Chains A and B, each alone.
Chain A
Amino acid sequence: MKRKNEFDFWISASLMIFLLYTLFMVYPLLRVVSKSVVSAETGRFSLKYFIQFFSEPYYYTTLSNSFKVAVSVAAVSLVIGIPLAYLYNMYETRGRKTLQLLIILSSMSAPFIGAYAWILLLGRAGVITKYLQGAFNIQVPTIYGFVGILLVLSLKLFPLVFLYVSGALKNMDNSLLEASQNLGRTGFKRFLTVVLPLCMPSILAAALMVFMRALADFGTPLMIGEGYMTFPVIIFNQFVGEVGTKENFAAAISVIAIIITMIFFLAQKFLSNRHSFSISALHPIERRKAPPLGSFFIHLFAYGLVALSLLPQAYLVYLSFRKTSTAGIVFLEGYSLKSYQQVFSNMSGAIWNTLRICGLALAVILFLAVLIAYLVVRKRNLINAVIDTLSMIPYIIPGAVIGVALIMSFNNRYMPLVGTAAIMIVAMVIRRIPYVIRSSVAILSRIPISIDEAAESLGAGKVKTLVQITVPMMLSGIFSGAIMSWVTLITELSSSILLYSFRTQTLNVAIYAMVGKGADGRACALSTILMAFTVITLLVFNRFSKDGEILM
């Protein structure tokens, strides 16, 4: 009898999750697809939006622009990130843990905040621009457009490459390196012919990740692109600019975006399957001391890079303590806490919203992700296989598209979710949950099934085993995933910007709204607060994680 009850429990859990995916992801995406092929005027099937997109250069150039941005950012991130990871893992560096923390920190803010700070530094009226012009009469090349986007996104995304490749290097067996040395292959040649190929699966995964993020990011091009339009920008413009009239066109662009990301996703899958192999490190790589000159350059490279990528955030922190005019938009000589006073008296809602919405989203994500991982790994059946596939879909859906899809689906009498915190939570859960599921699945797969069986043979039921044994064993891994998710959630912009209302404005959205108007002490104060949250989170993470292993 007992067996039957448990059977029902897992089946209903599967069904519930399947329903949630259907309602909040499949249905909205189908809405987008159906809207894209239906004329808004006649209500009949029509490909006119696709035809319009591909016939007007204003639109279709955004495609090649996005492409150029994403490919260049991925290339630059690899070129910076791989050597950094290699040097970091092969040689002793001073302040290793701090260095890693700083590298991670530099990736942990919304890219548009970086763009904003770079404008303040290197833009037309930027401090560095003005200084160089005044003191040396040097004309700084323009930072607006493609170059700016590339700069901002590369500095923001190379840490992903660093983390992925570091992970691969940590799993590499030192004897492989020794064997190649023994066979007469050392130094750069060994790096090219042994180390790089062994890291290839991770490199491909990192490249895809960077590519997708660069492709989907729209805060940066909006801020620093100045006419260099990428397609997330036009989705946003079509949708927010003239709501209703261009909804179908935005849907069509969304469909094109999904198709493109899907192609890249599949290509990456194909390539990494060809390169897949497993090695288990019995003897991890031992770091060596570099010769003095080499060590100097390693430190210069690593810390220089970190300094460069943290410069914008540091500058914003500095500005947040500057005196400002009464309205808060002009910086004056001297220092004050006025920006913070203004923020706390007027904007505390945004701070509270961030904690509330992101906190709830995180709780939902963790609960569902662990449950889904358990179902997928331990209870293989057809419906769970479908759930597994569904859970991967958000990987390839840009945030803006998720925002658009949710608005199109839940702006009605039956489910009036638009403008509520719920819809923002739904968007955050959908966007983030694939990563947590993947890392939970990875952790769970490493727990031998015999652990479950041992618990069972000792008289524990399936649910008891899950709660008392499996989840506690997964905890450290889930915890690191949760920390990273938290940081991603509080810096989420591309779907929140479409979904927020005045009641659910988060910090990131508030900053975005303010920086659009130019220099602003309050925006700087808010970014500093956001950064403080991130730093605290990272420090907590560092305190609790054994080896500083990060699961993205």
Chain B
Amino acid sequence: MDIGIRIDRAFKKYGSFVAIPDLSLEIRRGEFFTLLGPSGCGKTTLLRMIAGFNTIEGGDFYFGEHRINDLEPARRNIGMVFQNYAIFPHLTVRRNVEFGLRNRKMSRERIASQAEKFMALMKIGEYADRLPEKLSGGQQQRVALARALAIEPEVLLMDEPLSNLDAKLRVEMRAVIKEIQNRLGITTVYVTHDQEEAMAISDRIAVMSEGVIQQIGTPKALYQRPRNNFVATFIGRTNTMAARVFKRGGSAGLEFNGDCRVPMTNLKEVKDGQEVLVSVRPEELVILGTEVPGEVPALTAAISYSTFLGLNTHYIVELGDGLQAEIIQESQIDDIIKNGTVIKLGIKPEKVNVFTRDGSQSLIQGV
């Protein structure tokens, strides 16, 4: 039943503003696929094109082998969950869940049992005969999910479904969504601007910016091997530093501040002296102490301030060239390093990412 979605050269504009210039994408069967990006990146536009609420100016959209461009939203057999839930406020929970079923040729008994099944699945059976306004945000979201799933859609679309919930509920509901999706195995397209949420919930993520997909990959791939600097900075936290490539015989490395030389083993073809951007995540910086032996490559930094967060301690440091950087270190039993202390920093070369100067391409092999 579940089918993949294929988008071929989608094009969308509003007036003269081109929202999506040229976008192709494949979503596998039963996959939990997330469109992630800052607001205005076109992710909701794309979702609404899949749903049929936005016109498609160009390109082809397929559910499986079936082209859906000219199909009405009502006939695409999609379940949609909206940011504001879009629960019908004048209908009881039961009538909300039954709404889609009543639009199909189905016996009364089937409708009732189907609604009952999905209300039980979403654990809202006890509120069945209440009006939605009496429910909390999380319960309303469950109703919205039950309603969307009850019609047993081929594709489930979710447009920032958790953004109206408070932080704790958000974490709880995303576990619920993930679990239900796993159990039903339904192809799901999920839109969010919250990268942590995307990482937690998705099989694969497409990071979007200005209507263009920057990278598609698993959460792990996006975090560890971003394809460009935009993805590196958008997913997780990172310190972006300028560096220069140096070559000695067969090996290459990165030179920071003209003195700190870090050998690298996974760089693509690079030229000696090439200017690059290095994206170093806070946990990829290591505090080596106040003094290191001369042969160990290390940056010099001064502690600006620190934040103790229990498991980890965050240090904000100032590097020699006036650049600020963040370091995350597992909290030690010793004293927190005092502000103003000058320290030496090591870099984990196998983890850092290196981009061309303009940030547009990764210089790491296999990315």
B82/A453 in contact, CB under 8 A: yes
Given contacts A453-B51, A473-B89, A473-B90, contact A460 B84 (CB under 8 A): no
Q: Map CB proximity to A onto B321-360 as digits: 1 under 8 Å, 0 otherwise.
A: 0000000000000000000000000000000000000000
A19 within 8 A of B: no
Residue of B nearest to A474 (CB): B90
| Minimum Cβ distance to chain B for residue A445 (Å) | 14
Cβ-defined contact, A453 with B86, below 8 A: yes
* B73 touches which of A448, A453, A464, A473 (Cβ 8 Å): A453
- Is B83's CB within 8 Å of the partner chain A? yes
Of A2, A458, A464, the residue contacting B72 (CB under 8 A) is: A2
Contact present for B86 and A460 (CB under 8 Å): no
B103 is an interface residue with CB less than 8 A from chain A: yes
A3-B72, A450-B83 given; A457·B88 CB < 8 A: no
Whether A451 contacts B104 in the complex (CB less than 8 A), given A460-B74, A461-B74, comes out as no
A469: interface (CB < 8 Å): yes
When A459-B151, A473-B90 are in contact, do A454 and B82 touch as well, CB less than 8 Å?
yes
Interface residues of B (CB under 8 A from A): 51-53, 72-76, 78-80, 82-84, 86-90, 99-100, 103-104, 144, 147-148, 151
Contact A458 B103 (CB under 8 A): yes
- Flag if A457 contacts B103 (CB, 8 Å): no
What is the chain A residue whose CB lies nearest that of B77? A459
Q: Of A2, A448, A464, A472, which contacts B86 at CB under 8 A?
A: A448
Shortest C-beta distance, B119 to chain A (Å), equals: 15
Interface centre among B76, B88, B100 (most CB of A within 10 A): B88
B88 touching A451, Cβ below 8 Å: yes
Q: Who on chain B is nearest to A464 by CB? A: B103
Bound Cα distance A448, B73 (Å): 17
Of all chain A residues, which has the CB nearest B104? A459
Residue of B nearest to A2 (CB): B72
**Which residue of B74, B82, B100 contacts A450 across the interface (Cβ within 8 Å)?**
B82
Whether B83 contacts A457 by the Cβ 8 Å rule is no
Which residues does chain A contribute within 8 Å of B74, judged by CB atoms?
456-461
Residues of chain A within 8 A (CB-CB) of B53 are: 453, 456
A450 touches B103 (CB 8 A): no
Most chain B Cβ neighbours within 10 Å, of A3, A454, A461 = A454
CA distance A459 to B191 in the complex (A): 22
**Nearest 9 CB-CB pairings of A with B:** A458-B100, A459-B103, A454-B86, A450-B86, A450-B82, A457-B80, A456-B73, A459-B74, A472-B90
Contact sample, A vs B, 27 pairs, CB 8 Å cutoff: A2-B75, A3-B72, A448-B86, A450-B82, A450-B83, A450-B84, A450-B86, A453-B51, A453-B80, A453-B82, A454-B80, A454-B86, A454-B87, A454-B88, A454-B144, A455-B99, A456-B52, A456-B73, A457-B51, A457-B80, A458-B103, A458-B148, A459-B100, A459-B151, A460-B74, A464-B103, A473-B90
Contacts of B51 in A (CB 8 A): 453, 457
Known contacts: A2-B72, A469-B88, A472-B90. The answer to whether A457 contacts B79 by CB under 8 A is yes
Interface centre among B52, B73, B148 (most CB of A within 10 A): B73
Cβ contacts under 8 Å, A3 to chain B: 72
> Separation in Å of the B95 CB from the closest CB of chain A?
10
By a CB distance below 8 angstroms, the chain A residues around B151 are 458-459
In-complex Cβ contact of A458 among B52, B83, B89, B99 (8 A): B99
